[in-house]
Amino acid sequence: MLYLIGLGLSYKSDITVRGLEAIKKCSRVYLEHYTSILMAATQEELEEYYGKAVILADRELVETGSADILRNADKEDVAFLVVGDPFGATTHTDLVLRAKREKIPVEVVHNASVMNAVGSCGLQLYTFGQTVSMVFFTENWRPDSWYDKIWENRKIGLHTLVLLDIKVKEQSIENMARGRLIYEPPRYMSISQCCEQLLEIEETKGSKAYTPDTPVVAISRLGSATQSFKVGTIKELSEYDAGEPLHSLIILGRQCHELELEYLLEFTDNKEKFKQDVIADQEYFKPPAWVPSAEEDNDDE
């Protein structure tokens, strides 16, 4: 059996009872270690808690070495651990499909992820649109495919969850080209850097999917003892020090309910200003009133 087990957001004890019972009977335990990290637990602490050795599975192992993970999984139990939920922010459908092709049974143990825990900021999950990922820009690579998804969400009034990039066990282009297994120090995108990149792409695009005055919510260390929220405009949070990772950002949609707004006001020192920013944004992105065309008028007659 291949077990895909969600670990939750922060603590070693966030794992479900069923997930822990599955791990204890597995002969090998892999921890996916490139899309997120368990903020309040080290590899050594997990190994002590599980009573099992934990193998760190980087991107290369998961994407090109899945045969190692699935080795003998038709005869013994193997666990693949994912921070959050196995099918949350990053899906692992490819590993599941490969297991099924090899007739290996698969069992999924779900857990909390950023995709549902963001509701703790007070915004209703039903009012979220497409989730997007913001990657680190480089000198020659500034991807903006996420921009249109934000614009689509904004057109219909929905909030946008922006997942911020992390780099764990990444090689520089030079070391990769030279075949040197030298890895860069881990990097985690900050709220301010995400907002700066948002502003840069909006200036380039000019479509006004959002503006510097668009209200946003900064989410830091979700699910941990130091979890925090901060609201403001994109421009204001481009200068905000959110502290230690991990971080996410929410771009508010036009349909911000009064109860959502009341909850968000707890995360600002200037409640009246933020309230006015939200009202102004709602007005700016309000769809134009429908006016029937001449043809439609004639049809009614």
pLDDT digits (tens, 9 = 90+) for 163-178: 999 987 665 556 556 5
Domains by residue range for the chain, with CATH: 2-112 (3.40.1010.10), 115-285 (3.30.950.10)
The reply to whether 46 sits in an annotated binding site is no
Which pLDDT score is estimated for 289? 64
Which pLDDT score is estimated for 59? 76
Would you state the structure tokens that stand for residue 225, as one six-digit string?
């003892």
pLDDT digits (tens, 9 = 90+) for 216-244: 999 999 999 999 999 999 999 999 999 99
The reply to whether 119 sits in an annotated binding site is no
Which pLDDT score is estimated for 171? 52
Using a 10 angstrom Cβ sphere, with 0-12 exposed, 13-18 middle and 19 or more buried, the burial of residue 240 is middle
Residue range 264-280: average pLDDT? 97
Reported as a pLDDT band with limits 50, 70 and 90, residue 15 is very high
Which letter does DSSP use for residue 84 in this model?
B
pLDDT digits (tens, 9 = 90+) for 24-33: 999 999 999 8
The reply to whether 261 sits in an annotated binding site is no
The distance of Cα 74 from the centroid of its chain, to the nearest Å, equals 32
- Which is more confident, 60 or 42? 42
Collapsing DSSP to helix, strand or coil, 115 comes out as: helix
Across the chain, what does the average pLDDT equal? 90
The reply to whether 237 sits in an annotated binding site is no
Which pLDDT score is estimated for 62? 78
The reply to whether 61 sits in an annotated binding site is no
The reply to whether 157 sits in an annotated binding site is no
Using a 10 angstrom Cβ sphere, with 0-12 exposed, 13-18 middle and 19 or more buried, the burial of residue 123 is buried
Which pLDDT score is estimated for 136? 95
Which pLDDT score is estimated for 89? 65
Q: Cα dist. 206→89, 169, 192 in Å?
A: 29, 36, 21
- Catalogue the long-range contacts made by 144-150 (C-beta closer than 8 Å, 24 or more residues apart): 144/201, 144/204, 144/205, 147/201, 147/202, 147/205, 147/207, 147/209, 148/209, 150/209, 150/210, 150/251
Amino acid symbol at 173: I
Which letter does DSSP use for residue 14 in this model?
G
With beta carbons less than 8 A apart as the criterion, state whether 45 and 16 touch: no
The reply to whether 114 sits in an annotated binding site is yes
Which pLDDT score is estimated for 299? 57
pLDDT digits (tens, 9 = 90+) for 81-124: 999 999 986 678 889 999 999 999 999 999 999 999 999 999 99
The reply to whether 164 sits in an annotated binding site is yes
pTM of the model: 0.89
Reported as a pLDDT band with limits 50, 70 and 90, residue 184 is low
The answer to which of 27-36, 117-126, 259-268 has the lowest mean pLDDT is 27-36
